[in-house]
């Protein structure tokens, strides 16, 4: 059994069948989970880049280099989003800045 197939058993039944709901209706937690787990990357990376928030940026940082290597335009967008995120963080007080690096939590939307 492939590793991706094994991961499906950890998901709720409605999450196992992507045809049951359009990807654009995915919650931020579902987008983050897909990024971290390496699932549906061609669909979720553009969504994450369009809605960069702390957890999604951290999730994008977990996307394997091989994915970016096959999609140079998305990689350019990712790098620009990463630069902008870093520039915004530098303006924060140090304790706030470090919150970005706290562990990712996969769960309900905040």
Asked if residue 104 is part of any domain, the answer here is no
pTM of structure: 0.53
Residue 85: CB atoms within 10 Å: 19
> Using CA atoms, how far apart are residues 65 and 74, in angstroms rounded to an integer?
12
Q: What would the pLDDT profile of 12-54 be if each residue is shown by its tens digit? A: 555 555 545 566 678 888 888 989 999 888 888 877 776 666 6
Evaluate whether residue 109 is within a structural domain.
Answer: no
Task: Tell me which residue range forms the domain holding 25.
Answer: 3-99
Q: How far apart are CA 64 and CA 42, in angstroms?
A: 12
Task: Tell me whether residue 106 is in a domain.
Answer: no
pLDDT at 14: 52
Contact 43, 69 (CB under 8 A): no
pLDDT digits (tens, 9 = 90+) for 63-73: 999 999 999 99
Task: Report the domain count for the chain.
Answer: 1
């Amino acid at each position: 059994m492939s590793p991706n197939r094994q991961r499906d058993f950890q998901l709720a039944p409605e999450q196992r069948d992507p045809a049951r709901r359009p990807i654009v209706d995915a919650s931020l937690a579902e987008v983050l989970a897909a990024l971290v787990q390496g699932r549906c990357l061609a669909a979720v990376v553009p969504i994450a880049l369009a809605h960069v928030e702390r957890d999604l940026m951290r999730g994008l940082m977990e996307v394997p280099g091989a994915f970016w290597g096959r999609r140079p335009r998305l990689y350019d967008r990712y790098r620009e989003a990463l630069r902008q995120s870093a520039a915004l963080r530098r303006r924060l007080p140090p304790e706030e800045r470090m919150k970005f690096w706290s562990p990712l939590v996969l769960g309900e939307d905040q």
